Chain A
Amino acid sequence: GAVVSQHPSRVICKSGTSVKIECRSLDFQATTMFWYRQFPKQSLMLMATSNEGSKATYEQGVEKDKFLINHASLTLSTLTVTSAHPEDSSFYICSARGERAEAFFGQGTRLTVV
């Protein structure tokens, strides 16, 4: 299957700082990218959907000013957690979809805010 690379896989940051997570589709053009958050022992929660070149569509309850999503090219989307707090600690996963129906997932980023 297609490869989606997510970086970093783990990050620890201090409360109040911002963290950027990158999601790259390595061998296909991702017209749509999805960002998910997974709490311990829970399912994935869709945070936002972004189409290349346009603003992301955020799910209800997700603060767009806190979770900044940029999808500037067909192979790269970034999620920036701004002014991170301990409650933002979670596992964040991106997913990319091209022309075909299936979406491929990145490896996930475990964010710990101390």
Chain B
Amino acid sequence: GEDVEQSLFLSVREGDSSVINCTYTDSSSTYLYWYKQEPGAGLQLLTYIFSNMDMKQDQRLTVLLNKKDKHLSLRIADTQTGDSAIYFCATGPLVFGKGTRLSVIA
């Protein structure tokens, strides 16, 4: 079946940029998603990218898609302590990676 892989942990200093990477196997996905899960909470859709796009920017978030390598990344500029959470990469129809736990050090 489809598989989505991402690193489990990332630690960055406040103010730095965070880059969370994801690789996937399903090349038929029309959309690819990034979700955020704060402790004890449900998932929040952060952003998504259409499969024919290379990049999408939304305020502090930049999504890069390399369809050839099946690689998706999420860059958070000026990372804040409030960005500490688990970030899930997902392909359609919503196959999730295991999530990357982002820790922001003040």
User: B54 CB to closest chain A CB, in angstroms?
Assistant: 18
Beyond A1-B45, A102-B48, A105-B45, is A42–B94 a contact (Cβ under 8 Å)?
no
In the complex, what residue of chain B is closest to A104 when comparing beta carbons?
B45
- Residues of A with C-beta under 8 A to B96: 36, 43-44, 46
In the complex, what residue of chain B is closest to A34 when comparing beta carbons?
B94
Specify the main secondary structure of chain B where it touches its partner. strand
In the complex, what residue of chain A is closest to B31 when comparing beta carbons?
A101
Beyond A42-B98, A46-B94, A46-B95, is A103–B45 a contact (Cβ under 8 Å)?
yes
Q: How many residues of A contact B (CB 8 A)?
A: 19
Which of B11-19, B36-44, B60-68 touches A?
A: B36-44
With A and B bound together, what is the CA distance between A104 and B41 in angstroms?
A: 14
User: Are A93 and B48 within 8 A (Cβ)?
Assistant: no
State the A residues within 8 Å of B (CB).
1, 6, 34, 36, 42-44, 46, 49, 93, 95, 101-108
Give me the 6 closest cross-chain CB pairs, A-B, nearest first: A108-B42, A43-B98, A107-B42, A105-B43, A101-B31, A44-B96
